[in-house]
A and B are shown apart, each in its own frame.
Chain A
Amino acid sequence: DIQMTQSPSSVTASVGDTVTITCRASQGVRGFLAWYQQKPGKAPNLLIHDASSLQSGVPSRFSGSGSGTDFTLTIRGLQTEDVATYYCQQAVSFPWTFGQGTKVEIK
């Protein structure tokens, strides 16, 4: 199975800051990488698919990049509503696997 490792596990930043979350795969996943946001007590929502494609309705302050084994989710201009846990997920082969999550909090 492909292991997905996210860093950091948590980040605390101020409103307006840029937050970067990285995701590393144990083997290449080409561009089959998605990012999800899960707000406290809620189900997860798709933010980014195919490493860099923004899901419809997602604010443009979210962006994704990377290919192969190293990927990044960037939040430019952090907002209070962005408090959540963020997960990466590879979809190059079953079993599709998620990273352990990165918790984003406001300072």
Chain B
Amino acid sequence: EVPLVESGGGLVQPGGSLRLSCATSGFTFSTYWMSWVRQAPGKGLEWVAYINQDGSAEDYVGSVKGRFAISRDNARNSLSLQMNSLGAEDTAVYYCVRHKVAVRAFDYRGQGTLVTVSS
């Protein structure tokens, strides 16, 4: 197993902000694309954002563009997701996921951190 440990989830009011973090170890973090994938309660999976190895490229699902920002710190082997203007539709378990090398799929993920947006 490749440890990916998410943190930073919790209860936040609508319109609020939250920053998720993902601590990694056991692999050369700086050589992998990384993403965040989320799952609303009782729902399916949704890819949220990706970032390339050096942080020079990123992309987002349309519903979070302009509100969420993915970033990485290769020196600290960590991934982050800054989430602003949160709404009820952002309530979900957020998974930090690693992209498989040279393959367009996610090969490892953390256990997830729950974000609940509610007043």
Tell whether, in the assembled complex, residue A44 and residue B45 are in contact, meaning their CB atoms are under 8 Å apart. Answer: yes
What 1/0 mask marks residues of chain B from 36 to 59 whose CB sits below 8 Å from any chain A CB? 010000001111001000000001
Contact B44 A94 (CB under 8 A): no
Interface residues on B, range: 20 to 34
Given contacts A49-B105, A50-B103, A95 and B47 within 8 Å (CB-CB): yes
Which partner residue on chain B sits nearest A42 by CB separation? B111
Nearest CB on B from A56, distance (A) = 9
- Which DSSP category, helix, strand, loop or mixed, fits chain B's interface? strand
Would you list which residues of chain B between 57 and 72 have a CB under 8 Å from chain A? Answer: 59-62
- Interface footprint category on A: 20 to 34
Q: How far is the CA of A34 from the CA of B106 in the complex (A)?
A: 9
Contacts of B29 in A (CB 8 A): none
A-side contacts of B73, CB under 8 Å:
none
In the bound assembly, the distance between CA atoms of A97 and B105 in angstroms comes to: 11
- Which residues of B are found within 8 Å of A89, using beta-carbon distances? 45, 47, 105
Separation of A97 and B35 alpha carbons in the complex (Å): 13
Contact B44 A100 (CB under 8 A): yes
A-B contact pairs, 18 of them (CB 8 A): A36-B45, A43-B109, A43-B111, A43-B112, A44-B45, A46-B105, A46-B106, A49-B100, A49-B105, A50-B103, A53-B103, A95-B59, A96-B47, A96-B104, A98-B45, A98-B46, A98-B47, A99-B44
